């Protein structure tokens, strides 16, 4: 079949007609927290793979992971890893993506990259399929998967924004360990167990004690502005995904001792008065969202209920009384960082590639 991806492949890329109806798929970082979920998502969603290649560091080479009842042997990532690969899902950090995504594109693959390496590049679409799938029409071989907070937040913001353009956003996040990888999740488990035994625990992955504590996000701090790298990413990426390059956004990102689902308080200012009832109606039918907004039972989005769910939970929809004009609403949102914040969104992007093949 002929390849119709509307992608402008680099002129030196091999002229190999990939069959994206049953592609050869590679996962880079298969052993990581997101990598494991990429495998699960491909399997759970019956993604039509001709074959699946699992790539990680030399530390994991030779180990096996199960996919559709079969043991697949993990290979060490290297310059020849992408021969014959049609779609490469990258989740091994920015350094690995910067080095190997161009190698994969050169070999003829389309890369869906979970790192921040290419997210702000003009020729790399930054995609949340429920929000801006149309941006995938043109790319040069790489499609970026957004920062987890940006992905989860924009699923909840987009239905409101389409009806009433957002003028300003203020956010506070409550972010899980999974965003810092499998080792951080393990540190949360171990430090909690040590705490409960009354023993000391020296943090190795995160900069501060995690059990029964919370702290400002561990991304690098810009001392001049006072905003850390995570906050800067969320601002820039939310603007890009919503198509609002000048949207004023204030944000505080906090790491909380939760394993895998992020929560966030969003205060959203519109150009006109939007009632909580209208917002609820807009959000109730929106793709990728589930309304959890039961004032009578004080039941609102929680990480424990968002964990393992494809849908982002949204609730606590109310007027922000800090804005007497009535133009600002407050929402509370929770979404699985490893799913909609990472693996699920990447697989949904890959599904869109198949549809267009
Ligand atoms: P490995 O398990 O062999 O170290 P997490 O985000 O959960 O920390 O996972 C990171 C993922 O990226 C793991 O699968 C890890 O593999 C992989 N990885 C880290 N460094 C490299 C590298 N230099 N080459 C290939 N894979 C890497």
Query: CA–CA separation, 104 vs 12, rounded Å?
Result: 12
- Mean pLDDT, rounded, for 8-36: 74
Q: Is the pLDDT of residue 38 over 60?
A: yes
Separation of CA 342 and ligand 1 centre (Å): 15
Mutate to test the pocket of ligand 1, among 56, 99, 179 (most ligand atoms within 8 A of CB): 56
**187-199: pLDDT as tens digits:** 999 999 999 999 9
Length of the chain: 357
Ligand 1, residue 180: give the atom nearest the CA.
Answer: 6
pLDDT of residue 13: 44
**DSSP notation for 114-175:** -SSTTTT-TTS-B--HHHHGGGGGSBSSEEEPPPHHHHHHHHHHHHHHHHS-EEEEEEEEEE
Residue 60 counted as an annotated binding residue: yes
Domains of the chain: 22-144+341-353 (3.40.50.720), 148-175+213-334 (3.30.360.10)
- Mean pLDDT, rounded, for 4-27: 59
- Measured in degrees and rounded to the nearest 5, phi and psi for residue 87 equal -130, 125
pLDDT of residue 8: 37
**68-121: pLDDT as tens digits:** 999 999 999 999 999 999 999 999 999 999 999 999 999 999 999 999 999 999
For tokens 């093949």, what's the residue? Answer: 357
pLDDT of residue 10: 40
- Chain center to CA of 23: 23
- Chain center to CA of 343: 7
**191-224: pLDDT as tens digits:** 999 999 999 999 999 999 999 999 999 999 999 9
Separation of CA 187 and ligand 1 centre (Å): 17
Mutate to test the pocket of ligand 1, among 26, 60, 72, 92 (most ligand atoms within 8 A of CB): 92
**DSSP notation for 213-274:** --EE--SPEETTTTEEHHHHHHHHHHHHHHT-TT--EEEEEEE-S-SSEEEEEEEEEESS--
For ligand 1, atom 23, which residue shows the shortest CA distance?
57
For ligand 1, atom 4, which residue shows the shortest CA distance?
57
Residue 168 counted as an annotated binding residue: no
pLDDT of residue 110: 97
Separation of CA 91 and ligand 1 centre (Å): 8
Scored b (16 or more CB within 10 A) or e, 224-235 reads eeebbbbbbbbb
Closest CA to 287 of 340, 239, 247: 340
Scored b (16 or more CB within 10 A) or e, 38-47 reads bbbbbeeeeb
Angle in degrees, 0-180, between the axes of helices 33-44 and 182-196, rounded to the nearest 10: 110
Separation of CA 65 and ligand 1 centre (Å): 14
Q: Is the pLDDT of residue 172 over 90?
A: yes
* SS3 state of residue 104: helix
Residue 34 counted as an annotated binding residue: yes
pLDDT of residue 355: 87
pLDDT of residue 136: 96
Ligand 1, residue 183: give the atom nearest the CA.
Answer: 8
Query: CA–CA separation, 47 vs 53, rounded Å?
Result: 14
**111-166: pLDDT as tens digits:** 999 999 999 999 999 999 999 999 999 999 999 999 999 999 999 999 999 999 99
Q: Mapped to the 3 state alphabet, what secondary structure does 280-321 carry?
A: HHHHHCCCCEEECCECCCCECCCHHHHCCCCCEEEEEEEECC
- pTM over 0.85? The answer is yes
Q: List ligand 1's pocket residues with C-beta within 6 A.
A: 29-33, 35, 56-57, 59-60, 77, 92-93, 96, 181-183
Lookup: tokens for 163 = 């009806």
Ligand 1, residue 92: give the atom nearest the CA.
Answer: 12
Query: Going by DSSP bridges, is the β-strand pair 261-270/328-336 parallel, antiparallel, or unpaired?
Result: antiparallel
Reported as a pLDDT band with limits 50, 70 and 90, residue 21 is: confident
Q: Is the pLDDT of residue 15 over 60?
A: no
Q: Is the pLDDT of residue 42 over 60?
A: yes
Contact 127, 143 (CB under 8 A): yes
pLDDT of residue 356: 73
Q: Which residues are catalytic?
A: 148, 262
Residue 121 counted as an annotated binding residue: no
- Quote the mean pLDDT of the chain: 94
Residue 280 counted as an annotated binding residue: no
Q: Among residues of the chain, what percentage have pLDDT more than 70?
A: 94
Separation of CA 115 and ligand 1 centre (Å): 12
pLDDT of residue 18: 55
Q: Is the pLDDT of residue 2 over 90?
A: no
Reported as a pLDDT band with limits 50, 70 and 90, residue 19 is: low
Q: Among residues of the chain, what percentage have pLDDT more than 90?
A: 93
Q: For residue 69, with 0-12 CB atoms within 10 Å meaning exposed, 13-18 middle and 19 or more buried, which class applies?
A: exposed
Query: CA–CA separation, 340 vs 337, rounded Å?
Result: 6
- Residue 243's CB: how many other CB atoms inside 10 A? 12
Mutate to test the pocket of ligand 1, among 28, 32, 342 (most ligand atoms within 8 A of CB): 32
**286-314: pLDDT as tens digits:** 999 999 999 999 999 999 999 999 999 99
- Mean pLDDT, rounded, for 327-353: 98
- Mean pLDDT, rounded, for 312-325: 98
Residue 150 counted as an annotated binding residue: no
Query: Going by DSSP bridges, is the β-strand pair 227-228/110-113 parallel, antiparallel, or unpaired?
Result: unpaired
Q: Is the pLDDT of residue 17 over 60?
A: no
Query: Going by DSSP bridges, is the β-strand pair 51-56/24-28 parallel, antiparallel, or unpaired?
Result: parallel
- Mean pLDDT, rounded, for 314-342: 98
């Amino acid at each position: 079949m002929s390849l119709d991806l509307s992608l402008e492949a680099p002129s030196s890329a091999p002229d190999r007609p990939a069959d994206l109806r049953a592609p050869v798929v590679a996962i880079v970082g298969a052993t990581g927290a997101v990598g494991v979920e990429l495998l699960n998502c491909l399997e759970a969603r019956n993604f039509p793979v001709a074959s699946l290649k699992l790539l990680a560091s030399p530390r994991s080479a030779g180990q096996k992971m199960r996919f559709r009842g079969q043991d697949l042997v993990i290979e060490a990532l290297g310059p020849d890893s992408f021969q014959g690969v049609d779609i490469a899902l990258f989740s091994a950090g920015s350094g690995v993506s910067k080095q190997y995504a161009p190698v994969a594109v050169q070999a003829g693959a389309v890369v869906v990259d979970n790192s921040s390496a290419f997210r702000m590049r003009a020729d790399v679409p930054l995609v949340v399929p429920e929000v801006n799938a149309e941006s995938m029409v043109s790319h040069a071989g790489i499609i970026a998967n957004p920062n987890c907070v940006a992905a989860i937040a924009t699923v909840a913001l987009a239905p409101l924004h389409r009806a009433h353009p957002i003028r300003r956003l203020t956010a506070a996040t409550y972010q899980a360990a999974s965003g810092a990888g499998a080792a951080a999740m393990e540190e949360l488990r171990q430090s909690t167990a040590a705490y409960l035994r009354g023993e000391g625990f020296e943090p190795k992955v995160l900069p501060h004690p995690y059990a029964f504590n919370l702290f400002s996000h561990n991304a690098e701090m810009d001392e001049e502005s006072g905003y850390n790298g995570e906050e800067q990413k969320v601002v820039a990426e939310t603007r890009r995904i919503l198509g609002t390059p000048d949207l004023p956004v204030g944000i505080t990102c906090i790491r909380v001792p939760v394993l895998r689902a992020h929560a966030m308080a969003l205060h959203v200012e519109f150009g006109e008065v939007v009632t909580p009832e209208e917002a609820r109606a807009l959000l109730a039918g929106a793709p990728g969202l589930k309304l959890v907004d039961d004032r009578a039972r004080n039941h609102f989005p929680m990480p424990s209920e968002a964990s393992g769910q494809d849908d982002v939970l949204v609730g606590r929809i109310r007027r922000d009384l800090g804005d007497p004009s009535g133009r600002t609403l407050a929402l509370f949102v929770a979404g699985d960082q490893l799913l909609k914040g990472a693996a699920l969104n990447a697989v949904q992007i890959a599904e869109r590639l198949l549809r267009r093949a």
